[in-house]
Amino acid sequence: MKHRRTKKTAPEPVGARESGRLHLSLSEATFADFERTFLEHQRAWLRKARTPKAKRVIRRRTAEDILLGAYGRECTWNEFHRALRRTEKLGYDNPGRRAHVACLLALTLKQFPDQTERARRKLDEAERQLRFLRKTHPLRQEGLIEIQRIRRMAGWETLRQG
C-alpha cells in the first residue's frame, strides 16, 4: 500500500482577510483615501511578514487591490495608470492574476478610449501566458473564458481557440 503524502497548505498571506474587509469598509471612499488606507495597512502587513517572498506577495496583492479600487471608482487616467504601473512593476503571482489585470484595463475602455491598443496587447499577453498552462489547469480555463468574454464585449477576435 502506498502512503499518501499529505499536501501542505500554504498559510494564508498576511493581510488577506483584512484586505477584503478593508474593501468593504472603504466602498464609499474616494480613490485618494482608498489608496492611502491600503498603503498604510500594507506597511503594517509588511512588518508582520517573515520572509521576502511573503513581503513580495503582500506588495503584489496590495497593488492589485488598489488597481481594483481605481477601477471601481472611475478614476482619472493618471490615477488608474499609477495603480496599473505599480501592479506591472511588481509582477504577477500567476497567469490568472495577469489575465485579471488585463481584463480590468480592457473594462475601462469606455472611460479611456485612447488606451484601446494597450488593452488589446495586455489581453494578448495574458492569453499567451495562460496557454502555456496545461489544458486542464483551472486558471487556464477560467482565464481564457474571461478574456473571451471581454473580447466579445469589445468586439475583438480571440487569438485562437483551445
Distance between CA atoms of 60 and 91, rounded to whole angstroms? Answer: 7
Q: Is the pLDDT confidence value at 32 over 80?
A: yes
Q: Are 101 and 60 in contact (CB under 8 A)?
A: no
**What is the per-residue pLDDT for 84?**
96
Q: Which residue type sits at 89?
A: K
Q: Is the pLDDT confidence value at 15 over 80?
A: no
pLDDT tens column, 72-89: 888 999 999 999 999 999
- Which DSSP symbol is given to 112? -
CA dist list (Å): 143 to 39, 49, 104: 28, 29, 12
Bigger pLDDT: 62 vs 12: 62
Mean pLDDT (the chain) is: 88
Q: Is the pLDDT confidence value at 154 over 60?
A: yes
Distance between CA atoms of 50 and 17, rounded to whole angstroms? Answer: 17
